[in-house]
Structure 1
Amino acid sequence: MHLTNSSPSLTPRNRHLLRHAALAVGCAVLFAVLATLVQTAWSPLAHLDQGWTDSLHSDARGRRVWVASIQMVSDIGGTITMRTLLGAAAVWLWLIGARVLACWTAAQTLIGWGLLWVLKLSFDRPRPHFTDPVSHAGGPALPSGHAMASAITCAVLVGLVWHRSSRGGRIAACSVAALTVLTIGWTRIALGVHWPSDVLGGWLAAGVVLGAVTLAVELRRPGALARDIRRVNWRTRPRVQRVLVSPVAPAPYDPAFEEATDRPDGAVR
């Protein structure tokens, strides 16, 4: 009897779900490992944290202009700024009819904020302590709220422009986002208010939120994010064309046509 492999291959939708699940689970595992090493005061990590923090603090002492510049960058990239950006993006998406995408954006910042404080209160890690600090911050240290909020915000904003950008635009967006996240994380260490492992923990926690929220939305509303992204493209493309090309009356948005062109897996024909 001839046996054949009857197991279906992974569809694009399933691969999409697996990527987000892998992101959430992978970052959760790595965060658990990092937290365990922090709680057990693993010597190599403790030496790295202390050495890097002491070195940056020594460089900052007595350099008021330098410290003020770092503090300004840290404040601009703070949690309030990042959540305000995502809140504004969510409101705009809601107003143009991309309701699922708007909820996804809002959920990223709200769930991220909630998880941040659950983790902070769970580990209650002390912040670095100096006799002559150059900056002050309250609350537990692990994970860094600035690092977590900036990573979530930059990833969401890149995701919102990804499908409307050329290859060069995507590279530029990712580069700016990565530089922003790295810079904000570095300022928290340079100001002596976080250990390097706090910043790394913030980035890993952000990965958990990004993957888990996206996976939950995709499971609850299959293909809805893809449809909303196309709705954003439809709404904004005529405006861009009016700037770059000759004025042309945009075709009216037709939800019925959009639904007719949707595949079951949420991809565009």
Structure 2
Amino acid sequence: MHLTSSSGSITPRSRHLLRQTALAVCCAALFAVLAGLVKSGWGPLARFDQGWIEHLHSYARDRTAWTASVQTLSDIGGTITMRTVLGIAAAWLWLIGARVLAVWAVAQTLVGWGALWVLKLSFDRQRPAFPDPVSHAAGPAYPSGHAMASAITFAALVGLFWSQLRRGGRIAACAAAAAAVLAIGWTRTALGVHWPSDVLGGWLAAGVVLGGVTVAVELWRPGALARDIRRVNWRTRPRVQRIVVSTPRPASHDPGFDEAPDHPDGAAGRGPA
């Protein structure tokens, strides 16, 4: 694997690969530390989890309408919804010819689902228990499936359209995605079905999956993700703009004139294969 160009500088693809590797490694290290604290029953973390969950449960128990609205938000942000959204995105990518990107989206969903249950069964952590619960959830607690699935889905969706957004759009997209992920994670503690550390563990596990799957696809098909992103950019442009870009320009009399066509396949006027 070559990380530098012939001039010795790091290529854009290599920078992307290094960033994704760093994301996966850093999240894996933090997840391992948190998992160790959870498994050992570390006092400060256990007291924080217990105090937080008891306070939220007391609030939810006395406010039925508020609790119902939180439950609705939690259901909307559930694992099935998140995986369905990413599955629809993958189907659309496949239909427009961005096949490697579609595989990437499906892999994020499947690897995330598989990793979630491997981790849950490995730690087998008990969920919070109350004599008067306001909500119910089955299965082990650590990590939170809602937190993990929502983080993977929203990060993947932002990543798909990142190159089309200007600075303001990127900030808005990141803020909206972060708010949605935080809200979904918070509902799980507010309903008393997850400890706060479960939610944090879910976010860290999502970072491992996002970075790890991206690195694996990049190594499998070098440069294919970038080409498919250009295809997405091309297909989501307004139609009039695509026609204008595709129209062959008259030959220039300037012998130095050699403008590269703005097209995912590198040829003006040719649609995606």
> What is the SS of the residue equivalent to 1:163?
helix
1:145 corresponding residue in structure 2:
145
What is the distance in 1 between the residues matched to 2:240 and 2:197? 43
Distance in 1 between the 2:245 and 2:12 partners? Answer: 32
For residues 132-181 of structure 1, the C-alpha deviation after alignment (integer angstroms, 9 at most, x for no partner) is 10000000000000000000000000001111112111111101000000
5 Å-filtered alignment, 1:55-204, equals: 55-204=55-204
Deviation sequence 1:179-217 (CA, Å, 0-9, x none): 000000000000000000000000000000000000011
TM-score, structure 2 as length reference: 0.86
How many residues in Structure 1 have an aligned counterpart in Structure 2? 247
AA paired with 1:255? D
2:52 aligned with 1:52: yes
- The answer to whether structure 1 residue 27 and structure 2 residue 27 are counterparts is yes
1:240–1:162 CA distance, 2 compared to 1 (3 A):
farther
Contact 1:133 1:192 in 2 (8 A): yes
TM superposition score normalised by structure 1: 0.88
Report whether the alignment pairs 1:257 with 2:252: no
Question: Matched residues in 2 for 1:37 and 1:229: separation?
Answer: 40
**Structure 2, unpaired ranges of 5+:** 1-6, 248-262, 269-273
In 2, are the aligned partners of 1:238 and 1:250 still within 8 Å (CA)?
A: no
Give identity over the alignment, percent. 74
Q: Which amino acid in 2 is paired with 1:85?
A: V
Q: Distance in 2 between matches of 1:120 and 1:78?
A: 17
Mapped partners of 1:187, 1:13: distance in 2: 38
Q: In the alignment, which residue of structure 2 is the partner of 1:238?
A: 238
| Alpha-carbon offset, residue 41 of structure 1 | 0.5
Q: State how far apart, in whole Å, the 2-side matches of 1:187 and 1:240 are.
A: 44
C-alpha separation between the residues in 1 aligned to 2:110 and 2:80?
A: 12
Residues 111 and 250 (structure 1), Cα distance of their counterparts in 2 relative to 1, 3 Å cut: same
Give 3-state SS (helix, strand or coil) of 2:246's partner: coil
**Contact 2:70-2:187 within 8 A present in 1 as well:** yes
**How big is the alpha-carbon RMSD for the aligned residues of Structure 1 and Structure 2?**
1.8
Kindly provide the amino acid, as one letter, of the partner of residue 251 in structure 1.
Answer: S
Check conservation: 2:234, 2:264, Cα contact below 8 A.
no
Deviations, residues 65-104 of structure 1 (Å, cap 9, x unaligned)? 0110000000000001100000000000000000001110
